[in-house]
Structure 1
Amino acid sequence: MMNARTWHTASVLTNGTVIVTGRSNSYSLQSSAELYDPSTGSWTTTSSMNNPRLYHTATVLANGKVLVTGGSNGSSLNSAELYDLLTGTWIMTGNINVAREQHTATLLTNRNVLVTGGSNGSFVLSSTELYDPSAGLWTVANNMNSGRYQHVASVLTNGQVLATGGWYNISLDSTELYDRSTGTWAMVSNMNPARYRHTGSILASGQVLITGGWDDSTIVNSAELF
């Protein structure tokens, strides 16, 4: 890459290139972004975001644009912005209702984006909200049953969203499902063990593979299926 980065994002765009956004390099926050072209193996700079940030999310929308939400620049951010691949530029797209970092932002089957949890720098959040790309509007959605950050949110084949684990004073083993048709959350069976900073991958079978992460004191080598 052209810049050293950590706590950044990397998103595959509709043309096959990858956009990398944000960074913290020796505690120096940056708004820079760059593109990787797999056909040439080369990196090029693109326009910088309007706000420097880390601990943010980047979600590729159905229209090919990239939605970046929240994060931190020393304080939790409520700003959101869109990257347009065709013009290579960033525009602001309203503010999320609650400033948050280390949250999730998941593209739903109806093309909206569900933002869940995270931290505002002082408290762990259970709040969620929805972004409508067609209108560029944010609306408050129902809270999760538990606050959580550094968790995972996975879209199931039936359109529901599975939120797993995370941290809320302790590592969490709880999981819950978001039903888009009702806008409600329901607790489901617990993981074993509790974990945060883990991954969740949708398999061809429709199952979710949960791997690794941290429990309260150690790195976890276990994996499990939902």
Structure 2
Amino acid sequence: MTGSTNIPRCCHTASTLTNGEVLVAGGCGEIVNRYTAELYDRSIGIWTKTGSMNVPREYHTASIRNNGKVLVADGFNADAVDFTAELFDPPTRLLTLTGQMSDARAFHTAIALADGKVLVADGEDNNGFTNSAELYDPETEVWTEIGNMNFSRRQFTSSILMSRQVLVAGEYNSNVNILSSLEIYSSI
């Protein structure tokens, strides 16, 4: 067993930083949990509080970008799904808001691409399931819609293939079915 987090949480994200520390952000429980972020130093087994998020979140995503920053995107903000994203900067240990997303979503996936952009797909918004996808450009901090998926999905996986395409697999869809469909995203 190792050190305990400062605040109990679930439905959060955990991201391993380039220096080996682990950033844990947001989560379910008391509203204070959704705002908090902590760093775990595995060499000494200690958790330390870091800058709080600007927006409370649960069921969000966190993607490590090429420059080591972590993009924390969307998720539930109390009882609604939010349009916001923020960046964690390891040297300053702070989270700052970045460009507003095109679509609100939770239960989505996010994956950092080789060109530094982040692909965010599907999930659930305030009206139910979505089937949209968008790209975050770190150079401009702008989100761009890139079209719709063939199926509305939530709680699925996205993986980068050797071809640099993204494979989206599985789904829990709006008909409350678990399906085995696959889709490919290609920026090539």
Decide whether aligned partners of structure 1 residues 165 and 13 sit closer, same or farther in structure 2, where only a CA change above 3 A counts. same
Q: Which runs of 4+ in 1 moved over 4 A?
A: 26-29
| 1:60-79 map, 5 Å | 60-73=64-77, 74-79=79-84
CA shift at 1:122, angstroms?
A: 2.6
Aligned CA-pair RMSD: 1.2
After TM superposition, the score normalised by the length of structure 1 is 0.77
Deviation (angstroms), 1:121: 3.4
Select the residue among 88, 95, 100 that pairs with 2:100. 95
Percentage identity across aligned positions?
A: 44
1:31 aligns with 2:35: yes
Query: Does 2:178 match 1:134?
Result: no
Measured after TM superposition, the shift of residue 84 of structure 1 is 0.6
Q: Choose from 61, 64, 67 the match for 1:57.
A: 61
AA paired with 2:105? R
What are the residue-to-residue correspondences of 1:33-48 with 2, within 5 Å?
33-48=37-52
Partner of 1:173: 180
Contact 1:118 1:124 (8 Å CA) reproduced: yes
Aligned counterparts, 1:1-226, within 5 A: 1-25=5-29, 29-73=33-77, 74-168=79-173, 169=175, 170-181=177-188
Displacement of 1:172 after TM fit?
1.6
The structure with the largest alpha-carbon Rg is 1
1:36 CA displacement: 0.3
* 8 Å Cα contact 2:31/2:56 also seen in 1: no
For 2:11 and 2:95, the matched residues in 1 are separated by 20
* SS of 2:140 mapped into structure 1: coil
Sort the Cα spacing of 1:9 and 1:50 in 2 relative to 1 into closer, same or farther, 3 A.
same
User: Which structure has the higher relative contact order (CA within 8 Å, separation 6+)?
Assistant: 2
- Show CA shifts across 1:18-62 (max 9, x none): 000002126775210000001111110001000111000000110
2:172 maps to a residue whose letter is W
Matches of 1:120 and 1:56, distance apart in 2: 12
Other-structure match for 1:194 = none
1:96-140 CA distances to partner (integer Å, 9 max, x unpaired)? 100000101101111110000000033211100000112211111
SS in 2 for 1:30: helix
User: Deviations 1:178-205 (Å, cap 9, x if unpaired)?
Assistant: 1112xxxxxxxxxxxxxxxxxxxxxxxx
